[in-house]
Structures are given as C-alpha cells and as structure tokens.
Homo-oligomer: A and B are copies of this chain.
Amino acid sequence: MKKIINNPESVVEEMLEGIVNAHPEYVKRLEGFNVLVRADAPVKGKVALVSGGGSGHEPSHGGYVGKGMLDAAVAGEVFTSPTPDQVFEAIKAVDGGSGVLLVIKNYTGDVMNFEMAAEMAEMEGIKVDSVIVNDDVAVENSTYTTGRRGIAGTVFVHKIAGAAADKGLELKEVKRIAEKVINNVRTMGMSLTPCTVPAAGKPSFELAEDEMEVGLGIHGEPGTHRDKIKTADEITEHLLEKIFNDIEVNEKDEVAVMVNGLGGTPLMELYIVNRKVKDILQEKGIKVYKTFVGNFMTSLEMAGCSVSILKLDDELKELLSAKADTIAFKQFEE
C-alpha cells in the first residue's frame, strides 16, 4: 500500500483537521464529531442540507459545504456510513428553524443510519425530511431489492437542492426539487484499477494489466462485469448506452453532463471521454446545457471514471446555474 498517511486508523481525523486548517472561511468542525458545517451555520430561516457517508470520496462531501450547496457533511470511516449520533449532531448544528433535508446515497447502511438520526432529531422537535439518491444504472432498480446505488449524481442533488434552499424555498419545495433531480439523473462508471482502504492495507480486488471493471460502485466493491480494456470511445459508448437504456432522453432535450474521475485518473483522460460524450449526444440531437469534468465523487486512488446525465427543465436549469461558493465547487452566477 503506497499512501501519504501517518496511520491507517487516523486518516479521517487528520484529513478533517487538514480541511478545516485549509478552509476556515468555508467550514468549521463540530468539536468531538466528524462533522463539517458551514462557517456561518446555522443560517437563520434557510432550509439546511445535510449529507455525508463514508470517507474516501473527497471532495465529497465536505468539499461541498458552503453557500448554495450543503450546510453540513458527516464523514464516516473510509467507505463506512457514519453513525446516527454524528448525523444527529450535524442536523442540530445547522437547523436554522426552517427544517433540514438529508441527502442520502442509497446504501443500506447510509439509509438506516441517517433515518435513525432523523428520528432522533424529530424527537427533539426539528423538522427533518430526506431524499435518497440512486443514480447508478449498473444495478437494476426494484422495490424488492436494495435498488440502485447513489454515486456521482449526488453532486447534482447537492448543487440544485442547495440552490433551492439558498433561494429561500421551504422544506417541502426543496425536497420536491431534490427528488426531481434524483428522478432525472443517471450514472454509470468503470475502473482500471482497484483502490486500497488504508485500514485494510490491500486492494479491494485484482485486475489484470489488460482488464477493466465495469459497473462498479464507489466503495471498491467489484462491478457488474469484467472486460478487456477498450478505447476511450468504446468505453464512453458503453456507459452512455447503459444510461439511455434506463432513462428516456429525447431529441431537443437539454441535459447536464458530469464526467467524474474516481481519484487516480488524469484530467486529460476525462476530457477525452467528454469529447465522445458530446459527440454521442450531438448525434442524438440532445443539447448539452452544462458540462462538469473533474474529480467530484471519488474512490480514493482508483483509476476510472463515471459519466452522469441529468435531464433538465427550466427550473433545474436556473438552479444549476445559480451561484455556489464551496471549497470544491464554485460557480459564478450567469
């Protein structure tokens, strides 16, 4: 295991210290908890957004705490969902009187821990609601299973629901908009290398020099299948095909695109993927409203990428274009 760390047990603690040291103008830490909240929390009268999950997905989620996105991010151990007491503290710290929306990625652990926290908060009289992001088309959706996972599409939920809250909308409205994003976003990913959880010390799976893993989540778990490495264009075609099998996007529809790196892939390759995404969308007559290329939802040092497509309407377009000022996602108003 080659990592620039001190001690596998303390990576989350030291990372959080490093984040707060670097960006005191954006975030502060809740003492004794692995929770980052906006430096100016709680924002009176605004619906607060709380998200989080296991660590190892940086800049998710701490990097999205700030104006126009999250009010708090709760950091679990690497790839392990945080416990309800941590989430509960986050909720209490950011509630500005207008209620709190939890943005949860669809993993059994995350869902249950966040829901328990919501119950605890409700017992204290805080208005809490939640949405569950499930954008990963690698996994089939069904009410009889755990359903699709939440991956990079979550960042669109943070951005757009964050803008809605920033606009002063009430909890019910912010939730409606978050759910609209969730219904309209789909993601599919692949990787060239596994990643190593510091505490485990060895890679989560093995891949031969000419192999790639397709349809995997963001926790180092194996994907839906293994394949010989293809060209960037072929990979992109496959990812988009899976997405369009799952969601109908028609000619003249407008979309936002996110080409997300998993942590170990150079930007150069992500842009090569984006080139093909644009080509394919153009062929289908789909209009690209906005494109995001970079490391938004990572799996430690995993090499690989995911492509997300978000179908837009006027409401989502306006909120997606709104100002955001966080550590890792900054956008000027248009």
Contact = CB atoms under 8 A, between A and B. Distances in A.
A303 B5 CA distance: 13
Nearest to A55: B268
A331 B271 CA distance: 23
Interface residues of A, number: 63
The binding surface of chain A is classed by DSSP as mixed
Q: How many copies does the complex hold?
A: 2
A10 to B, nearest CB: 9
Interface in A1-54: 2-7, 11, 14-19, 21-23
A291 B18 CA distance: 10
A211 to B, nearest CB: 9
B268 A11 contact: yes
A289 to B, nearest CB: 11
Given A18-B274, A330-B331, A331-B330, A4 B293 contact: no
Interface of A: 2-7, 11, 14-19, 21-23, 55-56, 58-59, 63, 192-193, 209, 212, 229, 231-233, 235, 257, 259, 263-275, 278, 288, 291-295, 298, 300-301, 303-305, 325, 328, 330-332
Q: List the 7 closest pairs (A to B, CB-CB), nearest first.
A: A18-B271, A18-B275, A58-B267, A330-B330, A22-B291, A21-B278, A18-B274
